[in-house]
Structure 1
Amino acid sequence: MDLKNFFEFSVDRSQNRIAVVDSNQRLTYNELNEKVDRVAASLQKLGLGKQDRVMVLLKNRVETVVLFWAVQKLGAIFTPINFRLSQEDIMYCIQDVEPKFVVFEDASEHLIMKETFKERPIFISIKKNNPLADISFIELEEHSLTSFDRVIIQDQDISSIYYTSGTTGVPKGVPRSHKNEYASAMAHIVQCGYKRFDTTLGVFPLYHVIGLRSLQVITALNGNFYTLSDFDSLESLQIIDKEKVNCLFQTPTMYHDIVSHPYAKEVDFSTLHTLVYSGASMSKELINKCDELMKPERIVNQYGSTEIYTFTYSPDVRRKPGTAGKPGIHQNIKLVSTNYKKEASFYPRVVPNGDVGEVIVNMKSPEAFKGYWNRPDITKKCIYEGWYYTGDLGFIDDEGDLNIVGRIDDMIISGGEKIYPELIEKVLVEHPKVNEVIIIGEEDERWGQIVVAYIVPNDCSISFQELDRFCKYHNQLSSYQRPRKYVLLDHIPKSPTGKVLRKKLKENIICP
């Protein structure tokens, strides 16, 4: 199934149902399809061919949705970029992917430097009369017929290229085929218990796999995708109430802001049946708050990556907070010893249940990409003998559930002992005066590394002594795992998608 047919089948099933909404527009599936066809015809007339790239520097809006489906109909490649990246990273992405078109808006126009291109793309602005643009999106719609030459699309053709945030270097392009995207969407529906005609809040940026997955899933179900250009907890609550939203797919930080807002007590959550989160762990306290306030049928933890959408999922974390669950419907995972070298004559040892190992995922999954765009060097490091090496550390418990304890790069070795940050974080966040906590290793002449806790308190009376006492007598922490240093912060630095920027902590960009 390619995404052109995927979309057109949905249109034929429910032409008059509402498909997409933003603050300015409310379109049925038929109206959306007409816009998609007009834009596709204009893009083809301007030279967009099969597997050409269209780079998109847009917030969530109806135009972004129209562009996505128009690009799919032409067999081209939708390449959404996080315009919160630096101008240097944006320029790297443009030079790397060589787009035929770049679509931008007011919020991203400062990133456009047309004079730097040897073979520059065609620039499309959302608004008319932008001096940086060659043509406007409005002109694409207005000066177009709805007919265009149909393109034969194969399941293995690339549908989208997502660029990672680049927090540890230049961004990496992750190409995903039509088959990858379709399989991932179907898996999400099954694993998360979505229902036909569901309405969701499209608040997660469409430059991220979570954002586009939400759009694809709701389209498959002929539901309503309500786009929100920027996350705002009050506006989100108002939309949930007004639009009778049925399911949410967000980060734990977004859920925290929603349940903590005073207006949340005034909202009717009775239509909301499913909460899904990804990108970070959710504390037991936050899970309880979401459960008490919203009373959903399920709270699902979806653990995966851009490269392979699903690794594992927990169908309801209320039963077992903190777990990443079991492999998804298309998945096969193993946990292997971290003491390996990827050589033809060596195969890493699978660790027994209960022992910590690196999570690796079978590349035979239909959700799995084939390798990074223009980066065979990184592909070789991450894919070996048909397995994708995630860099995540975890263990399988007695019930067969995966529990993540951190990243290999974040593992601390103190006095010869291996220490996993997430285990300590889960303990410290139980303290009533701790709001958020991040554990990192700091170089030490005697111990090699010491454990340092960066704490965002919710009570300014907190003291290092009481934190140390709390850890010392906690039955889940050994003495060598206790933090030897505490730093109080007003916030934890995070990327726009909610990932903790540990490197910024280590560089002391945030001052204690």
Structure 2
Amino acid sequence: MDLGTVFDYAAQRYPNKTALVQDNRVITFRQLNEEVTRLASSLQKLGVVKRDRIMVLLKNRMETVSVFWAVQKLGAIYTPINLRHSPEDTQYCINDAEPKIIFYEKSSQRSVMNAKFNERPILISLEQEDGDLSYQELTARGSIEYNGITCSSDDIAVMLYTSGTTGVPKGVPRFHENEYASTMAHIIQNHYELFDSTLGAMPLYHTMGIRSLLSMCVLNGKYVLSPDFDARKSLSLLSEEKISTLYMFPTMYRELLNDPSFSEFDLSALKKIGYAGAPMSAPLTKKCFELLKPAHFINHYGSTEIYTFTTCSILDEKPGCAGRPGIHQKIRLVRSDTESAVVPEPIVQPGEIGEIIVQADSIEAFKGYWNRPDATRKAIRNHWYYTGDLGYFDEDGDLYVVGRVDEMVISGGENISPTEIEEILLQHPKVLEAVVIGEEDEHWGQIVAAFIVPKDMTVTVQELDQFCKQHPKLSNFKRPRKYVFIPQIPKNPSGKILRRELKNEHFSNI
């Protein structure tokens, strides 16, 4: 099943159902299909053919959705870029993908206009009288007729660029079958139903945003666009549009629940919530249950490369748990120092930490990075994708993710998981955020250093140290030996902590 066909079926099935809402504008599936067809015909006149990359530097807007579906109808490759990338990273992605066309808007204009192109693409702006063409001119030139393109399941539909925490972004080509299978898994895992609705808060340059859009299309659901995430505006949309599902980063939930106006809004229609992209602390998980009262709450653990690794929907019993493999997956834990081509036997003892590897032959899995055979060889070995994440199975066989291979603290020969200590520090009433990193030490190899964003500025090193000493779940050798109070934690756009940046900025001063 190719994505263009998925969209055509949805438009034919329930043409009068609401497809998109943005501000005061409501678009049905029939109206969206007309816009998409005009856009596809116009792009075809510009010479867009199968496998051409169409790069998109747009916020979550109706135009972005229309471009996505028009690209699918033409068998081209939707290639969105993170709007928060530096100009250097944006230029790298443009020249790596070599797009035929770039769509951009005012917020991304500077990065596009300042880029030095290896081969200049056609520039299409949302602003009138800007670029080679405006979006309005493009659609006005279109018609309801275009030459249909036949796509197979192993044609590339989407190429997403991983944000990463180090190095340049990597292009991740995703086939039509990858996107379709991942979407069906998402619907099943989140208990979505026909005519559900969701808030389009996750950017459409991120795998989570793509999944929300595709799920609503398959189910003829309502996709409510949110170009700029704002907690109060999101609460208003959730209430006014009676949105039934939500899928966001943990940081977005924190902003939503901590907004002073939260109690003013009726969120009774919201029944199913999920998160991915970064860990969610136990206190925030508990707060989600208390304030949102979801009928279904899921932690989705996966990546751009392979959409689903595992899911957990018993977060009331096991907050932070990553759970069991997805419906298309097989996972293993192996020793993190393994470099051999032959996959070793999995670690079977509950509680023992190893690197999480995922079956690379899954229908949800990519086949390799764009123009990066070196990175592909490192990531995929003997049909297994090496995630770089560390985890352990509990006695029930449920997975817990405890950090990254290169973030494990090794002190006195003992492996110490930063996540374990961070969860304990977050239980202290005066701690808002906590990050644990290993600092080089001549005697121990490394010592545990804790970076704290205070909730209460009266917090002291002494009371945090005493709290850790007395905590029943923290061994003494894992206790932080240094504390640093900082105003905020550096994070990438998906909310993942930039530990390397934290190290570089602070370790010379502590």
What TM-score do the two structures reach when normalised by structure 1?
0.97
Match of 1:446 in 2: 443
Match of 2:225 in 1: 227
| Alignment map for 1:452-471 (pairs within 5 Å) | 452-471=449-468
Q: Distance in 1 between matches of 2:317 and 2:171?
A: 37
The alpha-carbon distance between structure 1 residues 96 and 282, as it changes in their structure 2 partners (threshold 3 A), is same
Q: Distance in 2 between matches of 1:269 and 1:336?
A: 43
Structure 1 residues 440-493: Cα deviation after superposition (integer angstroms, max 9, x where no partner): 111122221111111111111111111111111212211111111111122111
Q: Distance in 1 between matches of 2:265 and 2:339?
A: 54
Match of 1:193 in 2: 191
SS in 2 for 1:186: helix
Q: Which amino acid aligns with 2:345?
A: R
Q: Distance in 2 between matches of 1:142 and 1:316?
A: 50
SS in 2 for 1:507: helix
Structure 1 unpaired stretches of 5+: none
Q: Distance in 2 between matches of 1:25 and 1:79?
A: 26
Match of 1:301 in 2: 299
Match of 1:43 in 2: 43
Contact residue 94 and residue 117 of structure 2 kept, 8 A: no
Q: Distance in 1 between matches of 2:225 and 2:68?
A: 14
Q: Distance in 1 between matches of 2:108 and 2:53?
A: 18
Structure 1 residues 340-396: Cα deviation after superposition (integer angstroms, max 9, x where no partner): 1233xx432311132111111111211000000000000000101110010111111
Q: How many positions carry a matched residue from both structures?
A: 508
Match of 2:417 in 1: 420
| Alignment map for 1:432-443 (pairs within 5 Å) | 432-443=429-440
Match of 1:67 in 2: 67
Moved more, 292-301 or 107-116: 107-116
Structure 1 residues 271-298: Cα deviation after superposition (integer angstroms, max 9, x where no partner): 1111100111212221221112111102
Match of 1:383 in 2: 380
Match of 2:166 in 1: 168
Match of 1:405 in 2: 402
| Alignment map for 1:121-132 (pairs within 5 Å) | 121-130=121-130
Moved more, 402-411 or 437-446: 437-446
Q: Distance in 2 between matches of 1:207 and 1:347?
A: 33
Q: CA deviation at 1:166?
A: 4.1
Q: Does 1:80 align with 2:80?
A: yes
Q: Distance in 2 between matches of 1:23 and 1:45?
A: 31
Q: Distance in 2 between matches of 1:286 and 1:30?
A: 40
Q: CA deviation at 1:13?
A: 1.0
Match of 1:117 in 2: 117
Q: Which amino acid aligns with 2:73?
A: K
SS in 2 for 1:270: coil
The alpha-carbon distance between structure 1 residues 88 and 472, as it changes in their structure 2 partners (threshold 3 A), is same
Structure 1 consecutive aligned stretches of length 4 or more whose deviation exceeds 3 Å: 509-512
Q: Distance in 2 between matches of 1:477 and 1:379?
A: 38
Counting aligned pairs with the same residue, the percent is: 52
Contact residue 337 and residue 349 of structure 1 kept, 8 A: no
Match of 2:144 in 1: 146
Match of 1:103 in 2: 103
Match of 1:273 in 2: 271
Q: Distance in 2 between matches of 1:412 and 1:289?
A: 30
SS in 1 for 2:505: coil
Match of 1:487 in 2: 484
Q: Does 1:347 align with 2:355?
A: no
Q: Distance in 2 between matches of 1:211 and 1:205?
A: 5
Contact residue 313 and residue 324 of structure 1 kept, 8 A: yes
RMSD: 1.4
